[in-house]
Amino acid sequence: MDKPIDAAILGTEEEILLFNAVGIPAFPLKDVSEAEAAVTNLSKRHCKVIYVSEDLYEQIPDIVAKYKFSAFPILLPLPTGKNPKGVGLKRIAQNVENAIGIDIF
């Protein structure tokens, strides 16, 4: 059995490889079709937080929805590249609106 991982990052190699240098295991994907297998594998390894590059996060709404109400793993969008899209901020705004009933952003 593979060693448990507390946190990991998924995305293209160019976007995420530097995370290995700070101790966050990076799992580069060649294309979006590899995302579900990678998330499933990390889930089996008891990964608590999976950071996903913004571009990839937007392309895997079914996978995000599958784990939305699970305690773990938590899938978090991570802005990468030169033009962040604000996906993470949009998600926080939606969560706050769902919790309190109004949009405060």
Q: Where are the domains of the chain?
A: 7-100
Q: Is the CB of residue 87 less than 8 Å from the CB of residue 101?
A: no
Using omega within 30 degrees of 0 as the cis cutoff, is the peptide bond preceding 73 cis?
Answer: yes
pLDDT along the chain (105 residues), means of 10: 85 88 93 95 95 91 92 88 68 70 72
The pTM of the whole model exceeds 0.85: no
Written out in words, the top-level CATH class of the domain with range 7-100 is alpha beta
Q: Is the CB of residue 79 less than 8 Å from the CB of residue 88?
A: yes
> pLDDT value at position 80?
76
> pLDDT value at position 104?
66
Neighbouring CB atoms inside 10 A of 47's CB total 20
